[in-house]
Amino acid sequence: MVLVAGAIAASVSVHMVADNRMAPTLQVEQIVLVSRLPTLVMELRRGDVVLLRAEDGAEHLSRVVALPGDKVQVDESGIQVNNQPLRTASFNGTLQLDQPAFSGARILRANELFVLNDNSADARDSRAFGPVSAAQLVGRAWLVVWPLDYAGLVQHRMPE
């Protein structure tokens, strides 16, 4: 029994949404279970909502929009992934590209992800700090457990 509890604790993290970066998909003070298994056995996909740990130790949720080997281009006209424009209507708000830290075109390395927030007016994502290292990945958001009115699986596709 203790081994089972230990295995579950090692494979799942509990995260409280602290800001509106991922609104409307996730709301402030919702509690989300995060599976650590993707970092071990599952491949990430575009659209996955992931929990990242910043260098200062803070954790936040973002959506994966480009994977290792993808070509990402950011300029005044918007964001392209593999020469396809990212549908800005997919995100809540307008993609803010004022003086992004990441600009130009680049093919992501084997350990890099490009992430955006669903609430794209909040530019604390790859537009501000560039691709994130896979080492920063805590896991994949899986299930909203609180409040009960919002309980359910997290959407793992680009918002429409």
Which of 36-40, 47-51, 54-58 is the least confident region? 36-40
pLDDT digits (tens, 9 = 90+) for 89-145: 445 444 555 555 667 788 999 989 999 888 877 667 888 788 898 888 888 887 677
3-state secondary structure (DSSP) of residue 90: helix
CB of 112 closer than 8 Å to CB of 137? no
- Residue 85 clears pLDDT 50, i.e. is over it: yes
Q: Work out the average pLDDT over 47-60.
A: 85
At residue 22, the pLDDT reads 78
CB of 88 closer than 8 Å to CB of 118? no
Burial of residue 64, with CB atoms counted within 10 A of its CB: 0-12 exposed, 13-18 middle, 19 or more buried: buried
At residue 32, the pLDDT reads 79
| Residues above pLDDT 70, as percent of the chain | 74
- Residue 5 clears pLDDT 70, i.e. is over it: no
Instruction: Place domain 2-153 in its CATH homologous superfamily.
Output: Umud Fragment, subunit A (2.10.109.10)
At residue 152, the pLDDT reads 67
Domain ranges across the chain: 2-153
- The residues near 32 (Cβ < 8 Å, ≥ 6 apart) are 14, 15, 16, 17, 26, 51, 61, 141, 142, 143, 144, 145, 154
